[in-house]
Amino acid sequence: MSIIIRYVDSSSSHVCIEESFLGFLDVNDTTGQGLFEVLENELKLLDLDIVDVRGQGYDNGSNMKGNQQGVQRRLLNVNPRAFYSACGCHSLNLTLCDMAKTCGKAKDFFGIIQRIYTTFANSTKKWQILKNNITGLTPKSVSATRWESRVDSVKAIRLQSEDIREALLQVSETDNDTKTSSEAKSLANNELGEHEIIVAIVIWYEVLYAVNLVSKHLQAKDMLIDVAIEKVQGLLSFFKGYRDTGFLEALEIAKVIALEMDIGTTFRKRQEIKRKRHFDENPDDANVAT
């Protein structure tokens, strides 16, 4: 467990707020009680009085934030003035994660981004083919937990779609492994050759870019709560505005990229597959879009 403290430095005429990383603590018991005891002992070793604590903040794990058994409650029992606030950055990350999980197309999209990265990262030879075709950022693996960092995964493809597609085609033509060759060809022709994916790349890059900016601000050691609230409200305003005008603008940007890549600028019509219905099913459930 890592421990970081913020404190007021009044040793000089210029009073300022400092933040210090004190180190990593060995933890064997991850319950709220176990974590609190480790924290309490560390403060004693540092000759810091727990009664002087005026604020505490953790991630959203139940053992940390729990109202009854969490670390924050156990610290409040000892010191009622240790005001608790959840980590704003982690809450934002969870919000974005939950938002994306409700959308099947979002899950499919990031699966494609990961497949593109994996295709090149499987060997140094394929990675070299990639580097020979691009001049900027290389694709990144999709983070399973830090959603705002996925902007780095999308950015490389957003800014170099045509070059990455060419690299995939070269892998499909030169790789001796039939599975790898087929996967690379499919990604180049079916995924990066689809207008819908190009639109998704544009939209997700803009969304993640805006979220990442706010996330970085929230993690700044000199961040103030009123500024943090202002940044989050600004992000909400961005989302509301994007609903009204962002999609149409993304379509125009995607159209330009598609024309540069010599692919179509229309959405492929989805074929409806009719599956056999059971006697107790609603007729409306019989159609499945593919």
pLDDT in tens, 231-278: 989 999 999 999 888 889 999 999 999 999 988 888 776 666 666 666
Task: Give φ, ψ of 83 to 5 degrees.
Answer: -55, 130
CB-CB contact of 140 with 164 (8 Å) = no
pLDDT single digits (tens) 80-124:
999 988 777 777 877 877 777 788 888 899 999 999 999 999 899
Distance CA 249, CA 25 (A): 49
Place of tokens 């480790």: 38
For residue 289, the cross-strand partners are 272
Are the C-beta atoms of residues 164 and 115 closer than 8 Å to each other? no
Q: Is the pTM of this model over 0.95?
A: no
Q: How many CB atoms lie within 10 A of CB 172?
A: 19
Q: Rounded to whole angstroms, how far apart are CA atoms 126 and 132?
A: 10
- Do 203 and 247 contact (CB within 8 A), yes or no? yes
Residue among 53, 55, 65, 109 at smallest CA distance from 91? 65
Tokens 């004693």 belong to which residue?
Answer: 44
Instruction: Note the pLDDT of residue 166.
Output: 94
